[in-house]
A and B are shown apart, each in its own frame.
Chain A
Amino acid sequence: MKTECAACKSLWDDYLDGELVSRERAVLEAHLRACDECRMALEELSLAEEALTQLPVQRCPDRVIDAVMHAAGAGEARRRFPWGRLAAGLGAVAAALLIVVLPMRHGSSPSDEELLRARKQARWSLTYVVQTMNRSRDQAIERVLEKQLHQTVKERISRALAGIEGGQE
């Protein structure tokens, strides 16, 4: 490769990026007029750029967007209220009651041990239901505060919390 060609090649990228100063551009263009090899190579480089720029935009299928929206919506619904957990808790309460009621309907009273187990089960389940509801209420309040509190108030709360965590207050 000739020295002029090597010098010319080193300027190609800046030339295509439009970053050459006018004097350098003039030198390069003069060389391109005289050298077929460099002109063709630069044309190819420019065509490669053009091809990349003109790649067609691919349309994202609706099913992908729908799936994303569904996933986000389902997440939001779960975050709003944990119906599943509440149902599980209530189901457990019902099951505990059935342990007590079913034997009574068949004319036999439940044993002390069964009663104790059912009572324990019912107490545990009710506690679970209450805890779930309390947690949901706290989260709901938190979300409302997060959305509606003025930014300044939020910043003050954050600063105060940071102070408490840092042991300053």
Chain B
Amino acid sequence: MDAEDFQEVVRRSADRVFSHAVYLLRSSEDAEDATQEVFVRLWKHRNRIERGHEAAWIMRTAHNLCLDLLRKRSARAKRLRSWSHHDPGAAPGDGRPNPQQQYELTRRQESLHRAMARLPEKIQSMLLLHYFHGMTYVSIAEMLGMHTGTVRVAVHRGKRMLRGYLAEESEERRHEDGMRCMQVPLG
């Protein structure tokens, strides 16, 4: 891979890597560092990476690097807190949602982020690889050197845990809304 190819690969995959890192690390600053590190490593090992396998190499490195970073961060509570300060970005789509829709969307996304944060880190990454990046179980398994069945089971397990946590979040939201309605003065 020469410098020109490298630039092309970086431009093509920077958003994917950065998104993966943001959703796992829950900090834009850490995600920037991780993204930079992935591409610096890509440049360093460019002669060892087979042509056409760059994308898989990049995602594997991003996955491993983020998990390493998370392992190094012992304070799980800190991550949960940091979410409330992080803006997960605008929703995709052409039409801008109205304030009420935006409010609902933000609340749903916040619930999802909080629920995701409660999952084991490896499972979070696998869920992102499968649903967010659209990778098949087979591709994830090949990329991470695992059995397809193991990946499938991990993703299904993660999804069920996520559903449980989302249900809890939704229950809490309903409770909060109920409390708010009671506080509205009549007349």
A interface residues, Cβ below 8 angstroms from B: 13, 41, 44-45, 47-49, 51-61, 63-65, 67-69, 71-73, 75-76, 147
Contacts and interface: CB of A to CB of B under 8 A. Distances in A.
Contact of A58 (B19, B159, B162, B167): B19
A57 B15 contact: yes
Contact of B159 (A48, A57, A69): A48
Contacts of A13: 156, 159
Contact of B131 (A52, A59, A72): A52
A69 to B, nearest CB: 6
A56 B88 contact: yes
Given A41-B163, A56-B89, A56-B92, A65 B43 contact: no
A65 to B, nearest CB: 6
A51 B19 CA distance: 15
Given A44-B166, A47-B166, A56-B89, A64 B35 contact: yes
Given A47-B166, A60-B17, A52 B127 contact: yes
Contacts of A72: 3, 6, 39-40, 43
Interface string B10-40: 1100111111001100000001100110011
Contact of B18 (A47, A49, A59, A75): A59
Contacts of A59: 15, 18, 89
Nearest to A147: B2
Closest 5 CB pairs of A and B: A52-B131, A60-B18, A60-B14, A58-B19, A68-B39
